[in-house]
Structure formats: C-alpha cells, structure tokens
Amino acid sequence: MHSSRQITLLLASILLCNFAGLLGSYFTAMSVETWYLTLNQPDFTPPSWIFAPVWTALYTMMGIALYLVWSRLMGGRRRLRWIIIFFVHLALNVLWSYLFFGRRDLLLGLVGIGVLWLSIVWLLVSAIRFEKRASLLLLPYLGWVSFAAYLNYTLWELNT
C-alpha cells in the first residue's frame, strides 16, 4: 500500500513535468498556427493534433521516472546527481521550445534539441545503474526527441 506521501510525490513529479510542457507550449502556441505552417514541411511531418497527446504522455512518463528515482531510499550522490540533471534537462526541454518556436530559429533549435537529446541519453544511461524502470520510461521520450531532432534538421535544411 502506498502512503499518502508517496502518492503526493508521484503526483507532484507528474505535475512538475507537465508544467514544464505547459511552459514550452506557451512558445509553441505563439508560432504553430502562423510561422510554423509557412515553413516548407517534409512529407513525414506529423499532423498538428498529434503533438499535444504525445507530449502529455511523455511528460507523464518523465514524471513517473522522476518519482521512481526521487522516492528511492538508496542511491546517494548518484541519485542526487540524476535528479539535478533531470531538472537541467527539463529546462533544456523548455529552452528548445523557446529557441525553435519562440525565436523562430531553426538552427538554434537544432543546437538546442541536440543538447536536449544528449541530456536524455545521459539520464537513461545513468538510471540503468540504479533504477532501470526510469530508463525504460524515458525510452519513448528519447525516440520522440530523436524524431523531433530529425524533423528540426529537415525543416532547417528545407528552409535555409
């Protein structure tokens, strides 16, 4: 049976990650129906409606991964380092939305998503050592960001 503290920590972790998504969506909303639609799009560009449910699911899985690591009683410095990198990575996630949609800069967006991708790989690899379930929860996120990076690259290539 889960204690109310554990349930609160789980909900806080999920809400925190989805709040980061909400911050990023502020920049996205500014440009997705205007500037983004004017770009030359590759054939594999997903329909706009798919992004909100996919990102919501991914932020929720990120929150569960954060909870799994945060709630561990063991792990010491490795656990603390992972949590710090997780929050840095979450800021990088919001930064990408700002660079790509807020600034409307395809090249800076590409650089930003590259750094974000590296931080996700770091989280995955480091969590494998002490919380494999967190790594598994982050795998779809890595896949989606890999796809988004390729889309970002292709948009940059088609529009410069």
Q: What is the CATH number of the domain that holds 65?
A: 1.20.1260.100
User: 67 with 10: CB under 8 angstroms?
Assistant: yes
For the stretch 4-55, pLDDT in tens is: 889 999 999 999 999 999 999 999 998 988 999 999 999 999 998 999 999 9
Global pTM value: 0.93
Residue 1 has a pLDDT of: 47
pLDDT of 150 over the 80 cut: yes
For the stretch 97-146, pLDDT in tens is: 999 999 999 999 999 999 999 999 999 999 988 899 999 999 999 999 99
Q: Which domain holds residue 144?
A: 4-158
Vertex 97: Cα angle to 19 and 125 (nearest 5) = 75
Q: What domain count does the chain have?
A: 1
Alpha helix (H) ranges present in 2-160?
4-31, 35-38, 51-70, 76-97, 106-128, 132-158
